[in-house]
Structure 1
Amino acid sequence: MDSLFEALAHPTRRRILELLKGGGMSAGAIAERFDVSKPTMSGHFAKLRAAGLVQAEIRGTSTIYTLNLSTLEEVMMAFIARLGVGDDATEPREESA
């Protein structure tokens, strides 16, 4: 779980995930949206892949990135569970009359 939160901690990586909400994009198309070097973008892509947040598929000479929705769903559920949201212990108890 730490690698997931580490990946989500950087604003560039969060923005990449936002871009991918609309569907798969090539690494080049994503990189054009940022004013950083190619090695820096490669590092961001690597962190997102390592955390399982994105999937990469080689198509010809391009790498196409897509969201890994199952991992995002797992992260959200685990985070909610850690906060205790929805636990019976957090709901007010009815008083006996």
Structure 2
Amino acid sequence: MNKVFKALNDQTRREILNLLKEKDMTAGEIAEAFNITKPSISHHLDILSQAELVTSEKQGQFVIYSLNTTVLDELMKWIITLKDE
């Protein structure tokens, strides 16, 4: 859970998640939406992957990133249990 909070603590990573909410994208497509270097985008995607907030699948020479809502569902359930107790 700590990795999830670390990943969500950065504005760029939250914006990447918002992009992936709309559609699956390559790292290059994601990078086009930002004014930062591609290696920086790769770093953010790595942190999101480690937190299991995004999944990736290699298709030919490209890696396609997708939003993994399962982790978000688990996080929301946990937050709701805090309120209930």
Same fold (TM over 0.5): yes
TM-score, length of structure 2 as denominator length: 0.93
Equivalenced residues, count: 85
- Partner AA of 1:5 in structure 2: F
Q: What are the ranges of 5 or more consecutive residues in structure 1 without an aligned counterpart? A: 88-97
Find the residue that maps to 1:52 and give its secondary structure: coil
Q: Residues of 2 paired with 1:6 and 1:68: CA distance?
A: 16
Find the residue that maps to 2:36 and give its secondary structure: coil
TM-score, length of structure 1 as denominator length: 0.82
2:44 equivalent in structure 1: 44
1:90 equivalent in structure 2: none
2:57 equivalent in structure 1: 57
1:68 aligns with 2:68: yes
Who wins on radius of gyration, i.e. which is larger?
1
Within 5 Å, which residues of 2 pair with 1:1-97?
Answer: 1-81=1-81, 84-87=82-85
Aligned Cα RMSD in Å?
Answer: 1.0
Q: Residues of 2 paired with 1:79 and 1:44: CA distance?
A: 24
* Runs of 4+ more than 2 Å apart: none
Q: Residues of 1 paired with 2:39 and 2:19: CA distance?
A: 19
Compute the displacement of 1:11 (Å): 0.2
Q: What are the ranges of 5 or more consecutive residues in structure 2 without an aligned counterpart? A: none
Higher helix proportion (structure 1 or 2): 2
Q: Residues of 2 paired with 1:3 and 1:79: CA distance?
A: 16
- Percent identity at matched positions? 44
